[in-house]
Amino acid sequence: MAKLETSVYGDFDEILKRIEDGILNGSISASLEDSSDFYSDGARCSVRVFERYSWSGGNRVSLAVTLFQGDDDIHVSAIASGGSQAVFWKMNTFGEEAFLDKLRELL
């Protein structure tokens, strides 16, 4: 599992669209598996779960991205998972890190 947490500034909708488009257009095997959006008392939260095939790992990896805006800044939390082939410990997490690297480029 690999994780990225940061804060960004800008228009929530534009940042969300940049992430969605960038992830989906960044890999031929990328897909948006599901999404969820919440609004409450001026706060906003969007969750996106992506998957793609990892050539280096020979398996699929997922990336869950959460954007939360309560005030001016937008908190981004992203967790990649599924890139290991081992049974009892994590090996070969290159696919997870590569998925997060793509998100870093987009932010």
For the chain, give the DSSP string: -EEEEEEE-S-HHHHHHHHHHHHHHS-TT-EEEEEEEEEETTEEEEEEEEEEEETTTTEEEEEEEEEEESSSSEEEEEEEE-----SSS----HHHHHHHHHHHHH-
Query: What tens digit of pLDDT does each residue of 8-52 get?
Result: 999 999 999 999 999 999 888 899 999 999 999 989 999 999 998
On average, the pLDDT of the chain sits at: 85
Predicted pLDDT of residue 64: 95
CA 26 to chain centre: 12
Predicted pLDDT of residue 89: 52
**Looking at the predicted structure, is the pLDDT value of residue 69 above 60?**
yes
Pairing of strands 74-81, 59-69: antiparallel
Strand order in the sheet with 43-54: 2-8, 74-81, 59-69, 43-54, 31-40
Predicted pLDDT of residue 65: 97
103 or 48, higher pLDDT: 48
100 or 22, higher pLDDT: 22
Q: Which residue do the tokens 């590569």 mark?
A: 98
**75-100: average pLDDT:** 70
What confidence category does residue 94 fall into, taking pLDDT thresholds of 50, 70 and 90? Answer: low
**100-107: average pLDDT:** 82
Domains of the chain: 2-106 (3.40.1000.10)
User: CA–CA separation, 67 vs 17, rounded Å?
Assistant: 12
